[in-house]
Structure 1
Amino acid sequence: MNAGIPAAARELTDRLGPDAVATSGPLYDRTRRVWNGAVTNRPALVVHARGTADVQAAVRAARDHGLPLSVRGGGHDWLGRGVRDGALVIDLAGMRRVEVDAQAAVATVDGGATAADLIGAASPHGLSAVTGTVGAVGVAGLTLGGGYGLLNGRFGLALDNLLAADVVLADGRAVTADADHEAELFWAIRGGGGNFGVVTSMRHRLHRADPILAGTIFYPLPQAAAVLDRLNEVLSAAPDELTVAIAMLTGPGGAPGLGLLPAWSGDPAPGEAHIDRLRRLGSPAFAKVGPTTYSDLLHANDEQGETIGHHVACRTRSVPHLTPDTVSALVKAAATFTSPLSRVLCGQFHGAAARVPVESTAFGLRRNHIMATIISWWPPGDAEPHQTWADAVSEALARDALPGGYPNGLSPDDTTQIADAYGPNATRLRAAKTRYDPSNTFTATPLP
């Protein structure tokens, strides 16, 4: 046992109160439990932060007592890096406030807020935000790593809509990073992940996008190859208002197939024609697409995708488009599922997201592409066949993949992909890491 743990626990209990610090018990167990049930890490102690001062106290205690540190936001990192073994964990679940300035179309978002918290606060004002597709995911982790979602074509990545962030650095100082203050830190956190400090608050640009046309068009697996081949033309000509996610998954009847998940965020009239084109790529088993709100869309995805306690292994590859080898790999992935929960989710990157100069943020890939997340997902049990399936799909997609991969999905073992994950920004990003966190206190996502 690290000799600093009892001293840090006493110090933080005296400063923050007994309800804010836990080394065991129900609150401790609830904090260390994350989306991926395969993660069984046991932190040394957990600090339930209620504001910036609590975060500063925890960071300083970890530094002074020689404890590793991690930060738990939404708990959706599949590797469980937010709840490191033997670490002091700062739990931001008590910091989920969202305030909306409707006139300025800006949301101020606490560091522990989820996508559902943000969208729920913005929706009553007729506003929306760029998030991922699942409401339970933490806004900070998603944004700092990139933030693929169904509004990327029109409004860019989540990180492209970050206006400012309040950050507690490794020495315990609290700073504000934006275009005019700590500009290099602001550059680094937009794509460099949570490797530079604890984001306690963010300002996000909001947009008027509701209602959107969204839903699912599901094709049986025998049609998948032909539909994906035809889809290439649709994606290459897609206007900013149309973003189409692709999902190889098990359908409602228990058979695997191809799901197209379009979102049209512009004038509904031309949007109907684009959606109809997607319906006519084959003979869908079902097609349910219509007007909805972004809030309802997130809620529906949460209902379909939140199987807490099951085990998860993820891989990620980015491909330039749906090449014949990529199509073959996706179809084979669905045909060889080792669990009906497993899936391959592909996000379309185009439009506004692709027009941002690559040097403007630390995010390293600004050309049109499709980002595939391979999710092997199974009830507790033998992991080997499921991990083998994920590795096989990743290797098959690697044939035509672009260098690197989405940092939010990479593990420390993905050394080849990590080396290229930040593209031309790697050297500058390493320099920023040395400047702001020379002791490598924060290790949220892998850096080259």
Structure 2
Amino acid sequence: MASDPIATAFSIDVRSLVDLQALCPELQIITVSAGERYDALCKSSNPTVKARPFAIITPTHEAQLATVVRYCSSATPPIPLTIRSGGHDIHGRHVLEGVALLDVSKLNNIRLSADSKAVTIGAGVKGASLLRALDLFSLTTGTGWCHDVGMVGWACGGGYGVASGPWGLGADNVVGARLITPSGIPVDTDNDPELLWAVRGAGLGNFGVISELRLRVRPRPRQLAGMITFPLQDAKTILGEGLYRMSTDGTLPPNYTGEFMIATTPEAPIMIFLWSWIADPELDADGEEESIKRGWQFLQNFKSLGTVLADTVEETTMRKFQESLKPYMTTSAYAHMNSSAISQLSPEVVDILMKNSPPLGSPSAIVCHHSHGQTEKRNGPKYRSYPVRGEHYILGVTGMWNEGSTQAFVGEQVHWANTVHEAISKTTALLESRYWSFARPEHCNSLSFFEEEGVAKLGALKRRYNPSNAFPAAFPVL
């Protein structure tokens, strides 16, 4: 009789997983021996990530997930797992050498609650899929700017996005979760309020694998959204005399969410705003029509701060706006990112940004996430574990290059990203806590991010639910 090809492959690549395949014959386990199929599944969104897990395991339902987690955790020695949903970690921490990659992308169920106030999503659901599903019921929820970001990783790691101003961060909109612990036993945050607190900002593998997440949903609002482009030379008036002034005097409307990117054309550096205004009944006592009028007026005031090179703002929906951003959010460029958090766009910071634009003609960029409005209302340490409090800005300084770039060009991009990061790190606006999902691994220190009390509380929960540290790339590292 011919030998079993799967068993033969495992005897060469990952002998330890043969019994797992026997337990779950339908479970997809791909190893290096699968060649191009393995390479395609192993591919990272950032091509600089070269690590190759010894296996990629893809469960399709929760029972399979529980079996995988229990099997790997109880093996002798234990088989460490990393977790991938959308795969958007620019530093590739979900792909480690010699570790089994648990790909949860097939856990993509979406279930609306009976009262239409919450939606339960599987671990693999992405923003675009969720918005399309909710659109059928004239509902929506906050998502990231990028259409294919995994919702669980986005929300449980913080979650800056299209509706941060009026609705808060992704973590603020998590109302519950179901996790598979290393024992294979599911736990629900409804039975442990402290676990819910932890999931809202530190739930990426520390206490188990999230199989389902419950998010708040809302009736689909009227919304103005689009992209506005200015020359970078206008940054002083737009950021300094505009956003900085409105932030400090309290006149920045909570309906507004605006995040910007500093990039270059072949001729000059530019600043691109992703601009959104949401009419929301919790914020607008005078109704949505008046809110939309105020939004148009705020847009005109905003545009008057600089010379508008392009403006695509229109009345739209969350789904349509996110879909319109697809061409700008899809890239296969190599990247070296540094990240900082700052309390304000102070004159000192604006000056650094203006003097250190990306090298002309390169794909490098500075991305800025802005947190204000309702984010501040739900930022108490008792509500969520996510550590960055109050109004703040997350700067992602990313040196980028394409395949085939010369070493000199690559070196220029990396040097630029490091130089800008160092300059920002010396400003008085710098915050110690940062966005773990953006920060380089060598810059991630749990004590500085979560402080001693937060680390102690998170550590106690981890010892209760995941004492074997079954997921070595969990965020944060405790």
For Structure 1 versus Structure 2, the TM-score category normalised by the shorter chain is over 0.9
In the alignment, which residue of structure 2 is the partner of 1:258?
A: 271
In the alignment, which residue of structure 2 is the partner of 1:21?
A: 29
Following superposition of structure 1 onto structure 2, how do residues 97-112 of structure 1 map, counting pairs within 5 Å? 97-101=109-113, 103-112=115-124
In the alignment, which residue of structure 2 is the partner of 1:377?
A: 400
In the alignment, which residue of structure 1 is the partner of 2:192?
A: 182
Q: TM-score, structure 2 length as denominator?
A: 0.87
Mapped to 1, the partners of 2:44 and 2:338 lie a distance apart of 18
In the alignment, which residue of structure 2 is the partner of 1:42?
A: 52
**Partner amino acid, structure 2, of 1:432:** L
| SS state at 1:408 partner | coil
Mapped to 1, the partners of 2:12 and 2:252 lie a distance apart of 56
**Identity percentage of aligned residues:** 26
Mapped to 1, the partners of 2:354 and 2:474 lie a distance apart of 33
Q: How many residues align?
A: 441
| SS state at 2:259 partner | strand
In the alignment, which residue of structure 1 is the partner of 2:66?
A: 56
Corresponding residue to 1:242 among 234, 238, 256: 256
Following superposition of structure 1 onto structure 2, how do residues 203-214 of structure 1 map, counting pairs within 5 Å? 203-214=214-225
Q: CA deviation at 1:132?
A: 1.1
In the alignment, which residue of structure 2 is the partner of 1:333?
A: 356
| SS state at 2:476 partner | coil
- Contact 2:264 2:360 survives alignment (8 Å): no
In the alignment, which residue of structure 1 is the partner of 2:172?
A: 160
2:233 counterpart of 1:222: yes
Corresponding residue to 2:448 among 390, 407, 420: 420
**Partner amino acid, structure 1, of 2:372:** H
Mapped to 1, the partners of 2:360 and 2:29 lie a distance apart of 41
- Contact 1:412 1:446 survives alignment (8 Å): no
For the structure 1 residues 18 and 98, does the alpha-carbon distance in structure 2 shift closer, same or farther, using more than 3 Å as the test? closer
Q: Deviation per CA, 1:279-304: give whole Å up to 9, x if none.
A: 00012112221111111221122211
Q: Deviation per CA, 1:343-368: give whole Å up to 9, x if none.
A: 11112211111112122211112211
Q: CA deviation at 1:446?
A: 3.4
In the alignment, which residue of structure 1 is the partner of 2:6?
A: none
In the alignment, which residue of structure 2 is the partner of 1:348?
A: 370
In the alignment, which residue of structure 2 is the partner of 1:437?
A: 466
For the structure 1 residues 58 and 149, does the alpha-carbon distance in structure 2 shift closer, same or farther, using more than 3 Å as the test? same
Mapped to 2, the partners of 1:358 and 1:379 lie a distance apart of 42
- Contact 2:13 2:31 survives alignment (8 Å): no
Mapped to 1, the partners of 2:447 and 2:328 lie a distance apart of 34
Q: CA deviation at 1:7?
A: 3.8
- Contact 2:197 2:382 survives alignment (8 Å): no
In the alignment, which residue of structure 2 is the partner of 1:268?
A: 292
List gaps (5 residues or longer) in structure 1: none
2:459 counterpart of 1:446: no
Mapped to 2, the partners of 1:183 and 1:57 lie a distance apart of 26
Mapped to 2, the partners of 1:41 and 1:171 lie a distance apart of 27
Mapped to 1, the partners of 2:23 and 2:360 lie a distance apart of 50
Q: CA deviation at 1:82?
A: 1.7
Q: Which runs of 4+ in 1 moved over 4 A?
A: 2-5
Q: CA deviation at 1:33?
A: 0.8
- Contact 1:8 1:61 survives alignment (8 Å): no
Q: CA deviation at 1:385?
A: 2.6
Mapped to 2, the partners of 1:254 and 1:199 lie a distance apart of 46
- Contact 1:248 1:331 survives alignment (8 Å): no
2:432 counterpart of 1:403: yes
- Contact 1:210 1:292 survives alignment (8 Å): no
Q: CA deviation at 1:254?
A: 5.5
Q: Which has the larger radius of gyration?
A: 2
In the alignment, which residue of structure 1 is the partner of 2:305?
A: 281
| SS state at 2:90 partner | coil
Mapped to 2, the partners of 1:50 and 1:95 lie a distance apart of 6
For the structure 1 residues 274 and 15, does the alpha-carbon distance in structure 2 shift closer, same or farther, using more than 3 Å as the test? same
Q: CA deviation at 1:387?
A: 2.1
For the structure 1 residues 333 and 125, does the alpha-carbon distance in structure 2 shift closer, same or farther, using more than 3 Å as the test? farther
For the structure 1 residues 384 and 196, does the alpha-carbon distance in structure 2 shift closer, same or farther, using more than 3 Å as the test? farther
For the structure 1 residues 339 and 86, does the alpha-carbon distance in structure 2 shift closer, same or farther, using more than 3 Å as the test? farther
Mapped to 2, the partners of 1:60 and 1:8 lie a distance apart of 14
